[in-house]
């Protein structure tokens, strides 16, 4: 961090979400003050351990007033829909929540002289029509043609931010791979987490599309550390740039076999695989050279440790219901949109 640049207070949008619930305690531990802006659609439970240590603003990013940036030195913008099915359900709503809200917040930040704005984009922007079974390694500068409502909303946000860059506004955009690992706002609609849950409960992993689907992936612990690095690294090193944030590319078949192997070796448990026929589905890889070099990336723990962190919660936390709709974004939003609050949320699109 530039010695002239003092980062004291950080705005985290979506701070009660899957990433935010892991990131915010880390920021607090490092001594940062944190303001969280979150609609709290998934409830207060994920932030109960640190709720009294933050400034919580319950609200919608689309309608935040300029006061949300008062006293803020940097913004980490996580809020938004994070799955393709939810996004496809209402593409117009997705555009307002993921794209228009990003533009709105970025303009508020820039108008108040906030230079660091870290945006949660996605490697899903690389999935396009006619993607081969063995996809190429996409670099950040490669031409892209995203096709889903979710991926388009992320790409539009990148373009808006890129067009706003100047000497006083230096956004950093993270095209994150698929995350995995435990969070207080747990998600089992992510493939790694779903595999561990199914291994625990069913002793069976259902592997779609012949196991030939590719995903860049990253541990949530490494992803949250990377967000903190984006606040602390020299702005000239990462400002105004897009990074593919991932550890490695996994085929879903190899991922299932690795989890199967770990549980056999460490627990003596046999896990069966049900491999479905090859079919058309999202499929992409990402090149991570730029990320590795700029952030000096090294994984903070083993793949095995991430498996057993989830396994141990499933085994030892009697209050944790892994089948609750709250842990599956698409199911939860479907219920939420039927409530009066949810209907009002959609009307704002």
Percentage of the chain beyond pLDDT 90 is 91
H-type alpha helices, 122-270: 149-164, 191-202, 220-232, 235-238, 252-267
pLDDT > 60? residue 79: yes
**Rounded Cα gap, residues 79 and 49, in angstroms:** 20
Q: Is it the case that residue 88 has pLDDT exceeding 90?
A: no
**Banded pLDDT at 132 (limits 50, 70, 90):** confident
Q: Is the pLDDT of residue 261 over 50?
A: yes
Q: Is the pLDDT of residue 2 over 70?
A: no
Q: What is the mean pLDDT of residues 213-220?
A: 97
Whole-number Å distance between alpha carbons of 152 and 155: 5
**Nearby residues of 251 by Cβ (< 8 Å), 6 or more positions away:** 211, 212, 213, 214
pLDDT of 43 over the 90 cut: yes
Q: How far apart are CA 213 and CA 151, in angstroms?
A: 17
Tokens of 318: 């009697």
CATH number for the region 9-185+217-248+284-300+331-347 comes to 3.40.50.720
Q: How confident is the model at residue 159 (pLDDT cuts 50, 70, 90)?
A: very high
Whether 189 shows a pLDDT value over 90: the answer reads yes
Judge whether residue 66 has pLDDT over 50: yes
Q: What is the pLDDT of residue 4?
A: 54
Query: For residue range 139-148, what is the model confidence (pLDDT) as tens digits?
Result: 999 999 999 9
Q: What is the pLDDT of residues 9-28, one digit of tens each?
A: 999 999 999 999 999 999 99
pLDDT at residue 3 in the model: 43
Residues 6+ apart with CB under 8 A from 49: 25, 184
269-286 average pLDDT score: 91
Report the percent of the chain where pLDDT is more than 70: 99
- Does the pTM of the predicted model rise above 0.85? yes
Quote the tokens at residue 108.
């508020």
Q: What is the pLDDT of residue 133?
A: 81
Q: Are 225 and 281 in contact (CB under 8 A)?
A: no
Give start and end residues of each alpha helix (H) in 83-128: 84-89, 91-94, 101-111
Q: Which sequence spans correspond to the domains of the chain?
A: 9-185+217-248+284-300+331-347
Cβ–Cβ < 8 Å for 20, 14:
yes
What band does 1 get if pLDDT is binned at 50, 70 and 90? Answer: low
Band of residue 344 on the pLDDT scale cut at 50, 70, 90? very high
Radius of gyration of the chain (CA): 20
Crossing angle for the helix pair 191-202 and 252-267, to the nearest 10 degrees: 40
Average pLDDT in the chain: 95
């Amino acid at each position: 961090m530039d010695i002239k640049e003092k980062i004291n207070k950080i705005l985290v949008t979506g701070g009660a979400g899957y990433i935010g619930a892991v990131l915010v305690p880390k920021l607090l531990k490092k001594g940062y003050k944190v303001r969280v802006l979150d609609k709290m659609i998934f409830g207060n439970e994920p932030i109960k351990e640190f709720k009294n240590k933050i400034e919580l603003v319950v609200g919608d990013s689309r309608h935040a007033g300029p006061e949300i940036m008062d006293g803020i030195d940097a913004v980490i913008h996580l809020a938004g829909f994070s799955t393709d099915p939810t996004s496809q359900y209402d593409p117009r709503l997705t555009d307002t929540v993921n794209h228009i809200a990003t533009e709105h917040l970025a303009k508020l930040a820039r108008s108040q002289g906030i230079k660091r704005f870290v945006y949660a984009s996605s490697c899903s922007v690389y999935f396009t029509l006619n993607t081969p079974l063995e996809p190429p390694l996409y670099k950040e500068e490669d031409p892209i043609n995203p096709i889903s409502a979710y991926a388009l909303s992320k790409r539009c946000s990148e373009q808006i931010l890129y067009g706003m860059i100047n000497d006083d506004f230096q956004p950093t955009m993270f095209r994150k791979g698929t995350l995995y690992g435990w969070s207080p706002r747990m998600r089992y609609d992510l493939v790694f987490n779903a595999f561990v849950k199914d291994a625990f409960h069913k002793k069976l992993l259902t592997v779609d599309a012949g196991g030939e689907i590719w995903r860049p992936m990253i541990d949530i612990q490494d992803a949250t550390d990377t967000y903190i690095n984006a606040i602390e690294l020299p702005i000239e090193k990462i400002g105004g740039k897009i990074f593919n944030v991932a550890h490695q590319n996994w085929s879903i078949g190899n991922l299932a076999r690795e989890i199967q192997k770990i549980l056999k070796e460490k627990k003596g448990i046999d896990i069966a695989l049900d491999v479905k026929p090859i079919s058309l589905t999202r499929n992409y890889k990402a090149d991570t050279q730029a990320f590795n070099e700029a952030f000096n990336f090294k994984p903070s723990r083993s793949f095995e440790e991430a498996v057993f962190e989830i396994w141990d919660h499933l085994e030892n936390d009697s209050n944790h219901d892994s089948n609750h709709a709250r842990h599956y974004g698409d199911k939860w939003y479907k219920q939420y949109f039927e409530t009066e609050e949810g209907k009002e949320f959609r009307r704002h699109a």
